[in-house]
Amino acid sequence: MGLLSTDQHVTGGSYVVERLLGQGAYSEVYRVRHAILGRLAMKVLRKVGTLAETHRLLGEAVLLSRIGHPNVVRVFDAGTVTTPSGERGWFTMEYVAGGNLDDYRTSHTSGTVPVADAVEVLTQVCAGLTMAHREDPPIVHRDLTPWNILVGQDQRGLRVRIGDFGLARRTDPGTGLTSGEGTLAFMAPEALRFGLGSSTAADVYSVGVLAYQLLTDVLPYRDISFTVYGAALREPPVAPSRFNRDVDGELEGIVLRALEPEPRRRIPNAMALLAELERWRDPTQERETA
């Protein structure tokens, strides 16, 4: 049983719960209807019970939402709601009908996502992430996974939005680092090994895992339990072209540089990764700037 029920009126009747969209260890996501804003997604936080805690969790997400970017999910409102488990924090954000990146990838049942489409997704992810990485000091997402990236359509075609900046944190101005958090399978080796290991380069590693999975349908390492507890031994993965012949040498090089285990040799931030992906899509850019 979920924290909310279908047709329930919450927050003084402002929102009507339509259905449960998904749930995880820390939250549940519902499609809700607002009288003025229409359909939204409401995330109810299983382990957060006060308004102060909710606002603290959403600090960077609200900041990025106010700045505004077509590839970042907008956050609209936040509060607390009474549930069968007690008072719980919630926030509302854009509802994207298409689903998440995992839904998008697995919908291609005849094979992997076409390379051009995969690069389009990654380019939009990097465009949204660039806004966070350009903050001073940079904001690190820390939990880039297929389930936190929403994929839909607009009048121009595919539109990708980064969601769930709830774990996002600013880096220390002196070290460029913040605490390591996130989903284990998508975390950089240094974020797994050290208490203060997350950085813009760690976000790039997470995008590298997403890229590898989109292009090959597998994760870039064999044994998740081994790589978590033996994180120092995580090695560069098998070349993506071994799984997908449509991946050329240049794109393969970009993905492997994003997955470089040593952060000092990795593509450093979303801006640099975006530039490489855009040059791959339009090689004339490199010739014009060379």
Encode 188-205: b = buried (16+ Cβ within 10 Å), e = exposed: bbbbbeeeebbbbbbbbb
- DSSP 8-state symbol, 185: G
**Closest to 144 measured CA to CA, from 180, 117, 182:** 182
* CA–centroid distance for 174 within its chain: 25
Strand-pair partners of 142: none
Instruction: Report the alpha-carbon distance of residue 75 to residue 93 in Å, rounded.
Output: 4
**Catalytic residue positions, numbered:** 143
Backbone angles phi, psi at 206, to 5 degrees: -60, -40
CA dihedral 65, 70, 71, 75 (to 10 degrees): 30
Instruction: Answer yes or no: are the C-beta atoms of 175 and 195 closer than 8 Å.
Output: no
Q: With CA atoms as reference, report the closest residue to 144 among 78, 97, 100.
A: 100
Alpha-carbon gap, residue 164 to 156, rounded angstroms: 24
Please write down the HEC assignment for all residues of 67-106: HCCCCECCEEEEEEEEECCEEEEEEEEECCCCCEHHHHHH
- Distance (Å) of CA 63 to CA 55, 115, 139: 11, 33, 10
Residues in the chain: 290
